[in-house]
Amino acid sequence: MCSALKSLSLSARAYSKVIKIARTIADLEDIEDIQTVHVAEALSYRMMSGNTKGIGE
């Protein structure tokens, strides 16, 4: 999972925000560990909002 996020060239701030959102998604599903699907969902919300700053910079 970490290598996938690193390959997106996220800024440190963007990476932190994606992980926080993924943690919230996992919590809502009552799952102890963040899974790849949670990170993917968090990234999709970031892309839907048009907030792609920090990606590829």
Condensed to tens digits (0 to 9), the pLDDT of residues 4-39 reads 677 778 888 988 999 999 999 999 999 999 999 999
Kindly list the domain boundaries of the chain, sorted by start residue: 2-48
Do 39 and 18 form a contact (C-beta atoms < 8 A)?
Answer: yes
How much is the pTM?
0.75
Q: Which of the four pLDDT bands, split at 50, 70 and 90, describes residue 57?
A: very low
46-55 pLDDT, tens digit each? 877 665 555 5
pLDDT-derived band at 41, boundaries 50, 70, 90: very high
Give the single-character DSSP code of 33: S
**Residue 27 to residue 5: CA distance in whole angstroms:** 20
